[in-house]
Structure 1
Amino acid sequence: MSELVAALPMYDWPEMRGEVDAQWARLRDAFRQRGIDAPERMARSNRDLPPVPGGIRDGAGNLIAPDPATLPPDEFDFHQLWLSPALLFGQTCWGPMELGLSEHVQVIAQPSYEEIEGGQGELYSSALVMLADGGPSVASPDDGKAVIPLDLIRGKRFAFNNPDSMSGLLGLTHDLEAIGESLDIFASRSESGGHRLSIIAIAEGRADIATIDCQSWVLAQRFEPAARQVKVVGWTARRKGLPFITARTTSAGVVASMREAVAELGLTGSVAKQAFVERIV
């Protein structure tokens, strides 16, 4: 039994579990063919993470996270996953990476968003969504530049998924700063706990606007009834999508083999399709 950990939590909606499991099965088998001791199943809760007595430490011996065994077993702390010394293969966001995670992990590859509106190769953007008013949604611009309707969003209640999310908060922050504005443009800001929850908050009248990454927006249109009550009014600029990562201690040889496997399966590159994208567009 492998002592390593793998997870693909970023788009692991309940309705997508079967497809995400299938994606991992393809990766797992490709890794094993290259001699990598990949785990049979992915982690989906804190109880699936191996204990680290005394807590997780960085290369200098500094404590950076508690022992996963001390956390609520039925919850799933993504930062614990990302920082786990047992992490073989995972996926994160460039928000946490920008805020310090990059010091503790290695990037294996960037997935492709080529077949999703708002995506281009390894780049993705977020849709600005508000309550539908009968008018059409705004199409993603061909040049990938931000489309921020200032007059429409000024003074509105903004919902974001979590504070370190590039797609839900930081990307929009950067785009507003680029045009001389800030999050102060909004009347209020509230954390929803997830992109799906942000959409529901708008549909239920608890928020006015949110930024939803393009792949989550596709999933919402497929699975979330509340998505029918909102529409796209703008887009953030395109940025690097959610990278596949591994622990900083994973050997160079294993990283190289995983990169080869990921590329062979067609999960990366400007013209490749992400494994389950074809099923959701």
Structure 2
Amino acid sequence: MRVSLPMYPLDDRASHTYWCWLRDRLVSAGLGQEHELPLQLAAPGDYFSHWQQPDLLLSQTCGYPLVTLLQGQVQLVGVFHYHVAGCEHGDYHSDIVVRHDDSRQTLAQFRGTRVACNEPHSQSGYHALRTTIAPLSDGTPFFSQLRFSGSHHASARQVAAGEADIAALDCVSAALLRQRDPATFSRLRLLQRTAPTPGLPLITSQRTAPAQLAALQGLLADSMQEPTLAAALATMGILGFSRRQLADYQCIRQQAERHAGIVLAA
């Protein structure tokens, strides 16, 4: 079985502690034999291939792929809540960041500048930004240049280094990265936040049986109350877990379709 939590820059020791606890409970609950469950969380190089595997037991993806590229291939397990403002109940947003010494104060003033995005299937790095600039769009490209950086961390570094002027970062990623790379984030400031959407979904294979899915959801909920995991969860920034409905995420697809004509850059 495949298991991963690949979307956020989690502390290795904390995430391993969490997975060891969950693995033991999965075996006890009959959701997998010891030889079937990995000893370590996977670090997939190709996320989409990993998420589409029929033996995927648990992973985390982005809301946009969930309702587009992965639709009909995975099941929604639920969502973690995070110790970040606005994320306490399972939603999240993007932080639109610029250099600290940039004097412009509004998004409209960044028309014609260079934008960094992590990748085109990202809700937080691409689609949320496109939705946010929609009221400012006049049918022409808003930015002069779009650079796909490959990650939120790389986008932050490009803005800090002056290689781009603005970027939208998943707010949870930004909070965790700020602890790891304070030098980069000390050169950035928050311009504004995007509207909230449901947080990054936890998923399992379409082949996971209903009883297995329910048991997995129950264990994830139980883990939030486990005293021995309190330190690991705090380090990972995780506050809670809740089940969500796939319908909750349809707003992401609808926004993307509504603003499909908005061009970030030529």
Q: TM-score, normalised by structure 2?
A: 0.78
Partner amino acid for 2:59?
G
Distance 1:130 1:275 in 2: 33
* Percent identical: 29
What is the CA-CA distance between 1:191 and the residue it aligns to? 0.1
Distance 2:167 2:55 in 1: 35
Distance 1:85 1:229 in 2: 43
**Hey, what does 2:145 align to over in structure 1?**
188
**Hey, what does 2:24 align to over in structure 1?**
29
| Count of residue pairs brought into register by the alignment | 227
| Highest RCO, 1 vs 2 (Cα 8 Å, sep ≥ 6) | 2
**Hey, what does 2:3 align to over in structure 1?**
6
Q: Is the 8 A contact 1:12 1:20 kept in 2?
A: no
Q: Is the 8 A contact 2:14 2:233 kept in 1?
A: no
Partner amino acid for 1:241?
G
Unaligned runs of 5+ in 1: 46-75, 136-147, 268-272
Q: Is the 8 A contact 1:112 1:274 kept in 2?
A: no
Which of 142, 148, 151 in structure 1 is aligned with 2:108? 151
Mapping 1:137-148, distance limit 5 Å: none
Deviations 1:89-131 (A, max 9, x none): 1100012113221220001111113x20242411000100100
Unaligned runs of 5+ in 2: 238-266
Distance 1:202 1:116 in 2: 22
Distance 1:151 1:172 in 2: 13
Cα-Cα RMSD: 2.4
Partner amino acid for 1:7?
S
Deviations 1:220-240 (A, max 9, x none): 210112111111111111101
Distance 2:73 2:166 in 1: 34
Partner amino acid for 1:22?
T
Which of 217, 220, 242 in structure 1 is aligned with 2:200? 242
Q: Is the 8 A contact 1:222 1:280 kept in 2?
A: no
Q: Secondary structure at the match of 1:11?
A: coil
CA 1:158–1:164 in structure 2 vs 1: closer, same or farther (change >3 Å)?
same
Distance 1:28 1:166 in 2: 30
Partner amino acid for 1:208?
D
**Hey, what does 1:85 align to over in structure 2?**
54
